Amino acid sequence: MTATSLAQSYLLKALIRLEVLELFLSRGAFSDVVREAQEAVELMLKAILRQVGVEPPKWHDVGELLVASEGRLPEHVRPHVRRLATISAWLRKERELAFYGEADFLPTEEYTREQAAQALSDARFCAEMAREVVPLPP
């Protein structure tokens, strides 16, 4: 398996998750949008890193590694690296809370349509950037 094919695999998996986010949003499953957006974004950013020859670590937020690897990215993607890192950090912070909640925080009641819509929009942006770096198979 080559780094490119694994990068492509990550991106394909993330794009499928992106489609599911639309269903979650339409069904009012706002916490699920946030949680699954995090997984999709993580896969997208790790796909970008793999594509440019950086082995991604086994943790969820790789935004700062992406920033540190900015020089390896295509010129037209570089201006967006900080936004990608910010999105990654926000979704990573929400990851467990959106899935498990807390005794005083029910994810199904606490997350709003606006938060879910922002997570979906952010995931779409990350997908756009990932597609600029990782070529999809025909």
pLDDT value at residue 4:
65
Portion of the chain with pLDDT greater than 90, in percent: 95
Classify domain 3-133 at the CATH topology level. Four Helix Bundle (Hemerythrin (Met), subunit A) (1.20.120)
pLDDT value at residue 106:
96
pLDDT value at residue 5:
87
pLDDT value at residue 77:
98
* Six token digits for residue 94: 């929400």
pLDDT in tens, 46-89: 999 999 999 999 999 999 999 999 999 999 999 999 999 999 99
Q: Say whether pLDDT at 26 is over 90.
A: yes
> Cα–Cα distance between 51 and 53 in angstroms, integer?
6
DSSP state at residue 47: H
pTM score, whole prediction: 0.94
